[in-house]
Amino acid sequence: MKQTPTPRTDDPVRPAAGITARGVLVGLALIPLNSFYVVRLERVLFGPYPSTISLFANAVFALFVFVGLNRLLRRFAPRLAFSQGDLLVIYVMLGISTGLAGLDGVCSLNQIIAHGAWFNPNGAWTKFLNAFPPWLVVRDKSVLRGHFLGHSSLYDAEVLRAWIAPVICWTFFITLLLFVANCVNVLVRRQWADQERLTFPLIWLPLAMVDEGPGFFGSGLMWMGFAVAGGLNLWNGAAFLLPSLPSIPLGITDFKPLLTMKPWVGIDWLPVTFYPMVVGLGYLLPLDLLFSCWFFYLFWKAQLVITNAFAWDTTPDFPFIKEQGFGAVMGLFLFYLWSGRRTYAAIWRRAWQKSADDALTSGARPQEALSDRSALLGIALRAAGLILFCRAAGVAWWVACAFFALYLPTLIVITRIRAELGPPVHDFHFMGPDNMIPRIAGTSGLHQGDLAFFTFSFAFTRAHRSDTMPIGLEALQMARVRLPGSSTGPSQAVRMFSAVMIAVVAGTLSAFWAFEHQAYQVGAATKFNQGFGFASEAFTRMASWVGGTLDARPNMMAISAVVVGLATSCILFLLRLRFYGFPFHPIGYAISSSWAINLVWVPLLIAWVLKGLTMRYGGLRAYRRALPFFLGLILGDCVIGTVWGLVSLAFNVRTYSSFGA
């Protein structure tokens, strides 16, 4: 289907200085502070939750502050001003660290590393705890007492000795994994950006903000949108602290209590929200995806109603929505792989032809972060490292290979849908290979070491709200379209790739530190809002596997649901290719199958109405004229929402959460 016309991100701009060591060092210095901020809000307090929506509000806020500071520096101390490249690299590095420290990031590993030895009711878990390698967990209860109960210090020598090995080992694993992911980014960027001309909607706002011209910040419509979103945030924040003030219901209003009769009770949860930021992000999406998101959300709810009406819900997990969603994700991956098969075959051939590979990096074509050969070798060697890591942890070869063969395509699909359409959510809860392999193959053929690895991997697969692979690709695209080339020395893409990997290592270590620093102060099991819940889910699941009460044999109905989801996504793609204007988008089908769509389906419906009316009665010209207003909605929500988070951090009190509550 023909996409809605959108502003191009590869228009020529006035050259500016690119990425420098100064920008990378500033980003590196801010990563620990940013990690502390994210962990404090999302784990200790009750929001806001910056890592749960695709455009991280705190990274946008930081860019807003640095852009404002830079304008002052350009006027009063020009030599100290930051370049566009420095501003963008700071934004990217903070985005990477936010994803790693976020609700679905590294800090879930903190929980799992400590959970088994401390929570072992009546020794019930002892029979499988030995499957967890000692170099990946902490077993000393005297050390864990401070972690769970607080009133202690992380910096005690005994505590540091207990944590150092797991932290180093998992940092090594995460670095390998994300190096593979970013090498894939290098290979797909040309196909997606230069050939398929994907628009990367989520980079429009940061690119507009760093533009040195007066266009974006000189737009009255932008400031009008900023005032609307920011004003609503300010009012609701004041009303949260002063209950005598009436609040404006932007957050969750649950209509579930109104649905008490069969079969409508099967809907389970029906929240309504009015988040301005999501309306702004929705305006950037094509109309068919906007329509598909809320339509398929109701489609999944209809499945629950029908299931309840016919009493099919007596079968556990029926109608297997997670499995259908997983099949849809795999269908998307297969379609993207097939559609770019010629390009990827050419990349493979060119990688082993020295003359062609040299031409790529000699200036004949735009420079990439890595040559084709280097990217392929990077993937192969680091993937082998991941498999060897798993083998050292006691995981079977085939289990490790199957895990990454399913996990990496999920990351690639999420990266693709952000590059193509930029949806505000892409969580895919409980659709990871750690859930699907036992369902498809059964646990009877799996060893406890395999199940222990699935328990660890729950930290990465539980949800994909804060994945950093898409940020890496968006960083490469921003470097490609906005920063100048280099005739000598590393290209801007090389510098951006290096900054991303530096942020991966620093962000991982900072996330571990931020969680444990606060845990040993106040107690992960006492003063944390979310200090051990994810680990409890993972260990309870493993206990069910080992006890033979869950997925002991292949679940044929779940397998059928995976096939249905895969076939449906493929059919939707074929229908879109066959019929012009076909309104149902397979990405909408996949995204709406998970949890986070509950929070955004109404704002996306509002955006669909507003954008549809604008395009129908004003056309492309009206759409472009209105665009600054909706970017202002996003910016206002990000800036004022983050300010409330800083107030919460400064005074150690709960404040208004602009998203997620």
Q: Name the average pLDDT for the chain.
A: 90
Number of domains into which the chain is organized: 1
pTM: 0.93
Phi then psi for residue 198, to 5 deg, are -65, 150
Say what the pLDDT of residue 2 is.
41
Q: With beta carbons less than 8 A apart as the criterion, state whether 602 and 276 touch.
A: no
Tell me which of 3-7, 166-170, 557-561 is least confident.
3-7
DSSP state of 585: -
Average pLDDT of 635-653? Answer: 93
pLDDT in tens, 345-393: 888 888 887 654 444 443 334 578 888 999 999 999 999 999 999 999 9
> Is the model's pLDDT at 286 over the cut of 80?
yes
Higher-confidence position of 13 and 123: 123
The answer to whether position 13 is within a domain reads: no
Give the C-alpha separation, 589 to 321, whole Å.
11
> Is the model's pLDDT at 182 over the cut of 70?
yes
The answer to whether position 657 is within a domain reads: no
Give the C-alpha separation, 292 to 35, whole Å.
35
Q: What is the dihedral of CA 557, 562, 563, 568, to 10 degrees?
A: 120
The answer to whether position 14 is within a domain reads: no
Q: With beta carbons less than 8 A apart as the criterion, state whether 49 and 600 touch.
A: no
The answer to whether position 4 is within a domain reads: no
The answer to whether position 204 is within a domain reads: yes
Give the C-alpha separation, 233 to 162, whole Å.
43
> What is the torsional sign of CA 536, 537, 543, 546?
negative
Higher-confidence position of 347 and 178: 178
Residue 5: asked if its preceding bond is cis (omega within 30°), the reply is: no
pLDDT band at 256 (very low <50, low <70, confident <90, very high): confident
Instruction: Tell me, rounded to whole angstroms, the distance of Cα 162 from its chain centroid.
Output: 30
393 Cβ neighbours under 8 A, 6+ residues apart: 133, 136, 449, 452, 453, 456
pLDDT in tens, 301-342: 999 999 999 999 889 999 999 999 999 999 999 999 998 888
Q: With beta carbons less than 8 A apart as the criterion, state whether 523 and 517 touch.
A: no
Q: With beta carbons less than 8 A apart as the criterion, state whether 97 and 178 touch.
A: no
Phi then psi for residue 272, to 5 deg, are -125, 130
The answer to whether position 345 is within a domain reads: yes
Say what the pLDDT of residue 490 is.
64
The proportion of the chain whose per-residue pLDDT surpasses 90, expressed as a percent, equals 75
- Helix (H, G, I), strand (E, B), or coil: what is residue 215? coil
Say what the pLDDT of residue 17 is.
65
> Is the model's pLDDT at 489 over the cut of 60?
no
Say what the pLDDT of residue 524 is.
94
> Is the model's pLDDT at 246 over the cut of 80?
yes
The answer to whether position 136 is within a domain reads: yes
Quote the crossing angle between the two packed helices 157-189 and 469-482, to the nearest 10°. 50
Say what the pLDDT of residue 355 is.
54
The answer to whether position 9 is within a domain reads: no
Higher-confidence position of 8 and 110: 110
Give the C-alpha separation, 473 to 422, whole Å.
13
Q: With beta carbons less than 8 A apart as the criterion, state whether 222 and 629 touch.
A: yes
* Token output for 91: 């934004």
Say what the pLDDT of residue 138 is.
94
Tell me which of 224-238, 250-264, 373-387, 566-580 is least confident.
250-264
How many Cβ atoms are within 10 Å of 313's Cβ, its own excluded? 16
Give the C-alpha separation, 122 to 538, whole Å.
18
The proportion of the chain whose per-residue pLDDT surpasses 70, expressed as a percent, equals 94
pLDDT band at 194 (very low <50, low <70, confident <90, very high): confident
Say what the pLDDT of residue 354 is.
62
How many Cβ atoms are within 10 Å of 380's Cβ, its own excluded? 12
Say what the pLDDT of residue 550 is.
86
Q: How are beta strands 253-254 and 271-272 bridged, if at all?
A: antiparallel
Instruction: Tell me, rounded to whole angstroms, the distance of Cα 66 from its chain centroid.
Output: 24
Burial 614-640 (b: 16+ CB within 10 A, else e): bbeeeeeeebeebbbbbbbbbbbbbbb
How many Cβ atoms are within 10 Å of 354's Cβ, its own excluded? 10
Q: With beta carbons less than 8 A apart as the criterion, state whether 32 and 510 touch.
A: yes
pLDDT in tens, 555-606: 999 999 999 999 999 999 999 988 888 999 999 999 999 999 999 999 999 9
pLDDT band at 9 (very low <50, low <70, confident <90, very high): very low
DSSP 604-639: HHHHHHHHHHHHHHHHHHHHHHHHHHHHHHHHHHHH
Q: What is the dihedral of CA 20, 24, 30, 32, to 10 degrees?
A: -170
| Residue from 306, 336, 330 nearest 318 by CA | 306
Q: What does each C-alpha distance from 269 to 256, 278, 602 come to in angstroms?
A: 5, 20, 14
Which domain does 382 fall in, by range? 21-651
pLDDT band at 661 (very low <50, low <70, confident <90, very high): low
pLDDT in tens, 430-442: 999 999 999 999 9
Say what the pLDDT of residue 179 is.
97
